[in-house]
């Protein structure tokens, strides 16, 4: 199967069986896991064992009659490879045992499909760029327009509208709307940022070609692409809240009317989330006993409610235009909103107290581990510590996610929801940091150097906080980076990179205008529709079809990239027809 290799274990020890166990390099402080008992080969080829190829493995060989460790081998097996492990005695007098690992058949290069896909999309991008450059040449542009609209061109030539004045007027702007640049009053960088995060999220949700590095970390660890996507979406939602509320209040909407819109939108997001996150109703009636309550849209809805209501409550006329005097001009985008910052600090204190002080039955206080075989199997039912306990206590075990990412490597058996209650606190903090980015854009409107300078400053501050909290370590910090827990170090780390990414896109799209934001701009304009659509139609053609080889990364990658590209095309067509689903 994918992510597996075949290991033939040949036991040439006389009249002695072996115990073969393995320990994954990605499993922190884990118990070794039994792979097989290997009897003496007696001339046979050996006992076949399937081993994992996602991470380096440590193979442990022990005698089955209580002897100590005979061999310890660290090796990173290759996918679909065929290996032999020969265990034999070198010297009968000293009973020295040797373990020799040999490659019978080399592994396949499972990363080639990624290279081919990269070349294909690079080629398409090159064609589009060349086409865009050619369309700037008047003869080429006129010829294309004539081919696309031959009847309209003939009518203009043969009718009264074909007079010199009308023709000149027509020729002055011969390009159809397909190539018009349009108005740039709206910050395209925000929609581009949102669309980029959304499209990668869609690709990952569809399977990411079944590559392990396109999946979430099992527990603590480095930030892979998937682990940072939801946080970026939350971040840019906060930025949009700042700009949209400012616009509505500036155009004379009352706070009560705006609050009504906030409540309605939050309600719709939570309702849609509950509908989308649960099983397809065409497969049978939904059991309310197993209804999952938390989810991505539910968390977005509640986060939006808190952050938007907080911003509306403390909105001050003239603050965002810089007319309100502050004792420190360098902090003019922060000091006018000090009540919001106090509220956020209080929320963070609540998260810290619940996480580290709440007693959890059968678990050490302040436990942040995955449970299962982690921590040498001492706390198998403590997955997520206080966060998991609160969800199971308030929502019930059957109403939260049943297959957390920790179940694969750490073999956890307890349900745990990465969109649970306690983590929502830090999601609100993440959105608030995005809100701060929006205030920077408002305070320093058209002052691009100041905006980019503030983004760099905030990114640096968040990075320093992350370094302190984690001690620049995966496992040994005060608070490790953990997407499942939405730890505060996860928030500061992802916001550090979010500020940098927004800075880069803002510079390219809105400052220098070197990039229009396409194609990510289009799904960014219809984000709710694309997200819900990709969830609802995930198992329908043309987004999914029966594959000839379900163990092929190439087929999975082709299917997932095709489905993702289709949503980009759909969002582009909707944009062309000015169809936007707003809630």
The catalytic residue positions are 216
Contact 78, 43 (CB under 8 A): no
Partnered with residue 102 across adjacent β-strands are 84
Provide CB contacts within 8 A for 484, sequence distance 6+.
216, 219, 370, 384, 404, 405, 406, 416, 418, 423
Distance CA 277, CA 400 (A): 11
Distance CA 369, CA 367 (A): 6
Contact 355, 480 (CB under 8 A): no
Helices 112-134 and 553-576, packing angle to 10 deg: 30
Of 500, 499, 510, nearest to 445 by C-alpha is 510
Per-residue CA distances from 76 to 45, 81, 295 (Å): 23, 11, 36
Distance CA 313, CA 510 (A): 30
Of 499, 508, 515, nearest to 238 by C-alpha is 499
Distance CA 268, CA 259 (A): 14
Of 510, 294, 299, 274, nearest to 390 by C-alpha is 294
**Alpha helix segments (H runs only) across 444-552:** 448-470, 488-505, 521-525, 527-536
């Amino acid at each position: 199967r994918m992510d597996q290799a075949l290991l033939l274990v040949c036991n040439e020890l006389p009249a002695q069986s072996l115990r073969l166990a393995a320990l994954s390099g990605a499993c922190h402080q884990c118990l070794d896991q039994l792979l097989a008992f290997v009897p003496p080969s007696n001339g046979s080829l050996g006992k076949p064992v399937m081993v994992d190829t996602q991470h380096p493995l440590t193979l442990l060989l022990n005698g089955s009659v209580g002897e100590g460790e005979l061999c310890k081998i660290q090796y990173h097996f290759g996918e679909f490879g065929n290996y032999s492990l020969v265990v034999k005695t070198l010297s009968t007098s000293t009973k020295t045992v040797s373990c020799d690992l040999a490659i019978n058949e080399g592994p396949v290069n499972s990363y080639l499909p990624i290279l081919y896909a990269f070349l294909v999309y690079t080629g398409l991008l090159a064609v589009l760029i060349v086409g865009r450059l050619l369309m700037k040449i008047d003869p080429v542009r006129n010829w294309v327009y004539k081919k696309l609209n031959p009847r309209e061109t003939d009518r203009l030539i043969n009718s009264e509208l074909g007079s010199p004045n009308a023709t000149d007027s027509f020729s002055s702007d011969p390009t159809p709307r397909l190539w018009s640049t349009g108005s740039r009053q709206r910050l395209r960088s925000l929609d581009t940022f949102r669309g980029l995060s959304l499209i990668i999220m869609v690709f990952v949700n569809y399977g990411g070609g079944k590559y392990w590095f396109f999946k979430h970390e099992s527990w603590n660890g480095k930030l892979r692409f998937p682990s940072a996507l939801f946080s970026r979406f939350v971040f840019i939602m906060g930025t949009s809240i700042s700009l949209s509320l400012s616009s509505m209040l500036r155009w004379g909407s009352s706070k009560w009317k705006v609050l009504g819109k906030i409540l309605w939108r939050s309600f719709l997001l939570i309702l849609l989330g509950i509908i989308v996150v649960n099983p397809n109703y065409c497969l049978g009636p939904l059991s309310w006993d197993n209804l999952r309550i938390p989810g991505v849209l539910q968390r977005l809805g509640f986060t939006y409610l808190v952050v938007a209501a907080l911003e509306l409550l403390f909105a001050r006329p003239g603050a965002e235009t810089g007319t309100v005097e502050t004792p420190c001009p360098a902090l003019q985008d922060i000091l006018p909103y000090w009540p919001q910052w106090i509220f956020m600090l209080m929320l963070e204190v609540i998260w810290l107290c619940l996480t580290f002080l709440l007693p959890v039955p059968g678990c050490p206080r302040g436990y942040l581990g995955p449970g299962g075989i982690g921590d040498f199997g001492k706390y198998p039912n403590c997955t997520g510590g206080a966060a998991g306990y609160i969800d199971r206590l308030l929502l019930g075990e059957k109403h939260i996610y049943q297959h957390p990412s920790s179940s694969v490597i750490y073999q956890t058996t307890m349900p745990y929801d990465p969109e649970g209650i306690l983590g929502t606190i830090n999601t609100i903090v993440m959105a608030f940091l995005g809100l701060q980015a929006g205030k920077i854009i408002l305070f320093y409107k058209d002052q691009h150097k100041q905006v980019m300078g503030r983004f760099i400053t905030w990114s640096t501050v968040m990075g320093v906080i992350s370094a302190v909290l984690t001690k620049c370590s995966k496992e040994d910090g005060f608070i490790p980076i953990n997407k499942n827990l939405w730890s505060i170090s996860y928030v500061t780390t992802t916001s550090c990179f979010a500020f940098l990414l927004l800075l880069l896109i803002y510079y390219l799209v809105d400052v220098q205008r070197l990039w229009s934001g396409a194609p990510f701009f289009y799904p960014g304009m219809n984000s709710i529709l694309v997200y819900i659509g990709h969830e609802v139609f995930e198992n329908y053609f043309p987004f999914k079809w029966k594959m000839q080889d379900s163990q092929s990364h190439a087929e999975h990658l082709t299917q997932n990239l095709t489905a993702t590209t289709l949503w980009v095309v759909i969002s582009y067509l909707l944009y062309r027809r000015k169809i936007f689903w707003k809630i």
